[in-house]
Chains A and B, each alone.
Chain A
Amino acid sequence: MKEGSLAALVALGAFHGLNPAMGWLFAVARGLQERSRALVLQSLPAIAAGHAASVGAVAVLVALTRSVVATQAVAIGGGVVLVGFGLWRLLSRRHFRWVGMRISLWQLAGWSFLMSSMHGAGLMLLPVLTAGAKAPAGHDHGLHASGSALSTGVFVTAVHTLSMFVVAGVIAVVVYEVAGLAVLRRAWFDLDRIWAAALIGAGTFSLFTAM
């Protein structure tokens, strides 16, 4: 994995962690409801786990596909999917629907998984995934390659999620302890549209670098 890719992974993780809709706000709400910082802290790993599952599914899928299909084809196919998904996110007025505040940590992880998947969090990593190190020559097919692809997928997911977790955690604690939720009124920018733009950008980047 190149250093640039690593930085991109961390940056995307931070971007996802920053988004209130990705979970830190839910963690804060749960804590405020019971006046318990412990509940804020407990909620964050569950949220990160759901996010990791969503991102990991994409990362592993891409890595495995790359081990059997030419990287260029994956990048092009993925890029097209990504641009299409981004446009849909930009133009659709549908919101993520979920009902319920009183949920277990398992359900919270499930919520986070659905939220991340709906937003295409994993897809956004596509350029990083396809720009990663080429599979070793001569071992393109077979168990060894898929094993290494799998470990690449896991590595990408871990780095990304760690970054997301740290950023979301810091924001959650700062908002819970110091800033208060009044900050939402000023600082909650419509990240969904920036997010959609990022998806389209990532797809376009993926297409350009592949061709």
Chain B
Amino acid sequence: MALWKPDPTFYASPRDAVSAPPEGLAYVAAFDRTAAKPDAIAVLDVDPGSDAYGTVVGWTDMPYTGDELHHFGWNACSSALCPYSPHPHVERRYLIVPGLRSSRIYVIDTKDDPTAPKIIKTLEPGELAKRAGYSRPHTVHCGPEGLYLTALGGANGQDGPGGIALLDHTSFDVLGRWEVDRGPQYFAYDAWWHIAHDVLVTSEWGTPSMIEDGVVGELLLGRKYGHALHFWDLRKRRHVQTVDLGDEHQMALELRPAHDPTKQYGFAGVVVSVEDLSASVWLWHRDGDRWAATKVISIPAEPADAAALPPVIAPFGAVPPLITDIDLSVDDQWLYVSCWGTGELKRYDVSDPFHPVEAGSVRLGGITGRAPHPAAPDLPLAGGPQMVEVSRDGKRVYVTNSLYGAWDDQFYPDGVGAWMAKLDSTPEGFTLDERFFPHGDDFRGLRPHQTRLQGGDASSDSYCYP
């Protein structure tokens, strides 16, 4: 049943959204690498006043095994208030949860019992393949007129191209392929938009054959993974421009556009440069009528004894930072950068997006560092800060430690483990919350990936009004 007044979690502008109340629950996708047990959505209590704070308080198991839950998103968000296709009386209550390996998509209802969400619909891989020609669904974004779902792979025997499928936001049926004219675009990964400018941006990882059994050294050194951003006309669904970051910059992944709808810039993280193993963050911006991208952050590799390194990077004698996720606060002031290789979460003040200023860093895990959490100082951690999620008010930052099953095993061959951490972020400081450290058996042997916060978070909503 629709609501009489707009869903209270919808905000017209990012300025309003910053005043949203703190989240009470967090939803975390967790998967079983062995595909022996079902993957699950873990529900965590994130209310500091609660006795169960920092613990997993609910599980929703998937009915199958081997899905590899990864990213997911809400059925509706603040974009429902957009003036051209308004439907503010739908509820934010369903999580759209794709299985990255199985290509299955689950729709999960969080309303009746938020700590035990129920699966209400399962889209089989054949539906995505038949209607849109895609597989390996990845990122979900709630648009004003439907759900946008990026997919890494082609279907029906094709490895690519990957692209975007549109889903109906009431029935959740796959409506079809989004692209009318994809131009030279072949690789897919993330997609997001400047919604008030009718601009969509996509990034590039690789096709399923390039990633599903781990990163392929020859392809990486041969500079074959994605290294470009694509700009599209959101209304006409046409490719407008490719901005190549340079083929040494392998794997352009997360896209974080400014939330302010009057702005046309955003940040993209690049995993690794094959020239010096550094990682980088790029700013895309307008350059006259065209788009351009400028490298604004570069993080160098850290030298290490080859004997201490896993085979995949041992020949290089250094630990690459591996920027695998970034997240931008709703006020567009703070950018969080995950260095999953070195085990570091960096914070930058990006008030001037062309000149980020580092404003805090926390070490956790890392290929050689194995930095512990202050809540368990004797426990060396594997993995590193990976998926980052920021609360709407910008005060709390959540991280989980798994990247992607096959890649976890390459970079952390003795086991990536499972942990989640929370940081308190204020203008004065950026520190770990010692009360929040679910880890190990708390996750039942599953590896945690993306976090979604109840009511929305910094990477879930887009706004049509400044």
Asked whether A and B interact, the reply is: yes
Interface residues of A (CB under 8 A from B): 20-21, 25-26, 28-29, 32-33, 35, 93-102, 111, 181-182, 184-186, 188-190, 192-193
In the complex, B348 has a CB within 8 A of chain A = no
A-contacting residues, B80-110, CB 8 Å: 81-89
| Residue of A with least CB distance to B13 | A181
Return chain B residues, CB-CB under 8 Å to A102. 196-198, 235
Is there contact, CB below 8 Å, between B84 and A98?
A: yes
Given A97-B145, A97-B146, A182-B12, A33 contacting B262 (CB threshold 8 A): yes
Is there contact, CB below 8 Å, between A26 and B84?
A: yes
Given A93-B170, A101-B82, A101-B197, A188 contacting B466 (CB threshold 8 A): no
Is there contact, CB below 8 Å, between A98 and B6?
A: no
In the complex, B381 has a CB within 8 A of chain A = no
A-contacting residues, B34-84, CB 8 Å: 81-84
In the complex, B421 has a CB within 8 A of chain A = no
Contact with B6, one of A28, A94, A185 (Cβ below 8 angstroms)? A185
28 contacts between A and B (CB under 8 A): A20-B86, A25-B86, A28-B83, A29-B83, A29-B196, A33-B196, A33-B262, A35-B262, A95-B170, A96-B85, A96-B87, A98-B84, A99-B84, A99-B144, A99-B235, A101-B82, A101-B195, A101-B464, A102-B198, A102-B235, A181-B12, A182-B16, A185-B5, A185-B6, A185-B8, A188-B88, A189-B5, A190-B5
In the complex, B255 has a CB within 8 A of chain A = no
Given A33-B466, A99-B234, A100-B84, A190 contacting B196 (CB threshold 8 A): no
Is there contact, CB below 8 Å, between A184 and B81?
A: yes
Is there contact, CB below 8 Å, between A98 and B145?
A: yes
| Residue of A with least CB distance to B464 | A29
| Residue of A with least CB distance to B144 | A99
Given A95-B145, A101-B196, A188-B6, A26 contacting B12 (CB threshold 8 A): no
Return chain A residues, CB-CB under 8 Å to B88. 184, 188
Return chain A residues, CB-CB under 8 Å to B89. 190, 192
Q: A29-B82, A182-B12, A185-B6 are in contact. List 16 more A-B contacts (CB 8 A).
A: A32-B465, A33-B196, A99-B145, A100-B84, A101-B196, A101-B197, A184-B12, A184-B81, A185-B10, A185-B11, A185-B12, A185-B16, A186-B5, A188-B88, A190-B2, A192-B89
Contact with A20, one of B13, B83, B261 (Cβ below 8 angstroms)? B83
A104 CA / B402 CA spacing, docked (Å): 47
How many Å from the CB of B233 to the closest CB on chain A?
9
In the complex, B3 has a CB within 8 A of chain A = yes
Return chain A residues, CB-CB under 8 Å to B82. 29, 101
Interface size for B (C-beta < 8 A) is 36
Return chain B residues, CB-CB under 8 Å to A94. 170
Is there contact, CB below 8 Å, between A29 and B11?
A: no
A33 CA / B197 CA spacing, docked (Å): 9
Return chain B residues, CB-CB under 8 Å to A20. 83, 86
A-contacting residues, B186-231, CB 8 Å: 195-198
How many Å from the CB of B88 to the closest CB on chain A?
6
The 7 closest A-B pairs by CB, nearest first: A100-B235, A26-B83, A181-B12, A95-B87, A25-B83, A190-B89, A97-B145
Is there contact, CB below 8 Å, between B12 and A98?
A: no
Return chain B residues, CB-CB under 8 Å to A192. 89
A-contacting residues, B152-188, CB 8 Å: 170
Encoded as 1 (CB less than 8 Å from any A CB) or 0, chain B from 258 to 286 comes to 00011000000000000000000000000
A33 CA / B195 CA spacing, docked (Å): 11
Return chain A residues, CB-CB under 8 Å to B12. 181-182, 184-185
How many Å from the CB of B234 to the closest CB on chain A?
6
Return chain A residues, CB-CB under 8 Å to B195. 101
A182 CA / B466 CA spacing, docked (Å): 11
Given A101-B196, A101-B464, A188 contacting B85 (CB threshold 8 A): no
How many Å from the CB of A40 to the closest CB on chain B?
12
Encoded as 1 (CB less than 8 Å from any A CB) or 0, chain B from 425 to 439 comes to 000000000000000
How many Å from the CB of B187 to the closest CB on chain A?
24
A193 CA / B3 CA spacing, docked (Å): 10
Return chain A residues, CB-CB under 8 Å to B170. 93-95
How many Å from the CB of A25 to the closest CB on chain B?
4
Is there contact, CB below 8 Å, between B145 and A184?
A: no
| Residue of B with least CB distance to A93 | B170
Contact with B4, one of A35, A101, A184, A190 (Cβ below 8 angstroms)? A190
Contact with A111, one of B4, B84, B146 (Cβ below 8 angstroms)? B84
| Residue of A with least CB distance to B463 | A181
Return chain B residues, CB-CB under 8 Å to A29. 82-83, 196, 464-465
Return chain A residues, CB-CB under 8 Å to B466. 32-33
A16 CA / B234 CA spacing, docked (Å): 29
Is there contact, CB below 8 Å, between B84 and A188?
A: no
A157 CA / B89 CA spacing, docked (Å): 30
A97 CA / B5 CA spacing, docked (Å): 20
A28 CA / B83 CA spacing, docked (Å): 9
A193 CA / B5 CA spacing, docked (Å): 12
Is there contact, CB below 8 Å, between A189 and B83?
A: no
| Residue of B with least CB distance to A192 | B89
Return chain B residues, CB-CB under 8 Å to A186. 5
Contact with A193, one of B2, B16, B235, B464 (Cβ below 8 angstroms)? B2
A94 CA / B85 CA spacing, docked (Å): 11
A22 CA / B198 CA spacing, docked (Å): 21
| Residue of B with least CB distance to A25 | B83
